Amino acid sequence: MSDLVEVRDLAVSLGRGRARREILHGVDLTVRPGEIVGLIGETGSGKTTLARSLLGLNRIDRGTVSVTGTDVGGLRGGALRAFRRAGSVQYVFQDPLQSLDPDLPLGRSVGEALEVRGSSQIADRVAEALARVGLDPALAARRPAEVSGGQRQRAAIARAMITEPRLLICDEPVSALDASSRTAVLELLLRLRDPHRGTAAGEAGRVGGHRTGQLFISHDLGSVAGVTDRIAVLYHGRIVEAGATAQIIGDPTHPYTRLLVGSAPTLDGAGLDRAARAVLRAQLV
């Protein structure tokens, strides 16, 4: 069985004319079913460009992008729309209002994809989707402004999961949330990955007989390391290091990764002292 995401030697340029610049310079990335892969990088490193490429939203200069077995790099027009309408790839944004209509009750937004397809028993499936993300189904009647930020983000995840996607792309899903909501959303993403962990709620991740893979995009390695199985570090448009999370955190080799791991505030203090960070910064200039 092929991997959910297979990106090989991907190069993408953005902008027109003289402003055109290559953003990704030959990137490799793999996401397998049932795993959470962290894509870590700073502002401007190319994380979002890479994510958009997985949705077929960028013309590619070089390389291949295969998502759920489809060569999305080559899709155009109607074929691209059909791929996106199939709903096998879903996107969760930092700001849930990018996917939830502020004027619609949450239930309508969550069930929209089913409505478009003319599915039956929409209300039941919406209630089930809300329960799956730990929301009271009664919240279906509320508008986004009438619930907390954490509840909004969970509703956005319910909307994404209702199409039973094979790949869920989460772009900074907890960066705007307070500590308590952040923990709840991270726990939810873990449950969606691993249907065997926990009890009834653990069944949440088993959708349509396949295991959803997740690409977790974040600038903040320190706060998401606990949910990822593997990490790819993107720096200036290149993957400078990739591997098992424990390997990257415990034994980073590239100077940027070492600086990143050594800069993350932890309860034991940052991993590196000021002088050590200064040395790494000098190597990167």
Q: Which of 171, 156, 160 is nearest to 218 (CA)?
A: 171
Distance from C-alpha of 248 to C-alpha of 231, rounded to nearest angstrom: 7
CB of 221 to other proteins, least distance (A): 7
Beta carbon nearer to other proteins, 29 or 40: 40
Distance of CA 238 to the CA centre of its chain: 18
The token pair at 25 is 């310079």
Taken as a whole, the chain contains a residue count of 285
CA–CA dist 11, 128 (Å, integer): 41
> Measured from the CB of residue 144, what is the shortest distance to other proteins in angstroms?
17
Tokens of 105: 């009750």
Closest approach of other proteins to the CB of residue 188, in Å: 12
In whole angstroms, the minimum distance from the beta carbon of 253 to other proteins comes to 14
What minimum distance in Å lies between the beta carbon of 225 and other proteins? 4
| Residue among 1 and 179 whose Cβ is closer to other proteins | 179
Q: Are strands 89-92 and 167-171 parallel, antiparallel or unpaired?
A: parallel
Shortest CA distance to 87 belongs to which of 68, 108, 65, 74? 68
CB of 246 to other proteins, least distance (A): 4
Decide whether 41 or 213 has the Cβ nearer to other proteins: 41
Per-position DSSP letters for 123-186, written without gaps between them: HHHHHHHHHHTT--GGGGGS-GGGS-HHHHHHHHHHHHHTT--SEEEEESTTTTS-HHHHHHHH
Which CB sits closer to other proteins, 133 or 260?
Answer: 260
Q: Which is nearer to other proteins, 167 or 186 (CB)?
A: 186
Of the pair 105, 173, the CB lying nearest other proteins is at: 173
Q: Which is nearer to other proteins, 11 or 264 (CB)?
A: 264
Minimum distance, C-beta of residue 27 to other proteins, in the bound complex (Å): 19
How many whole angstroms separate alpha carbon 95 and alpha carbon 172?
Answer: 9
Helix (H) or strand (E) holding 123: helix 122-132
Binding site for other proteins (CB under 8 A): 42-43, 178-180, 182-183, 186, 219-227, 245-247, 249-251, 259-271, 274, 277, 281
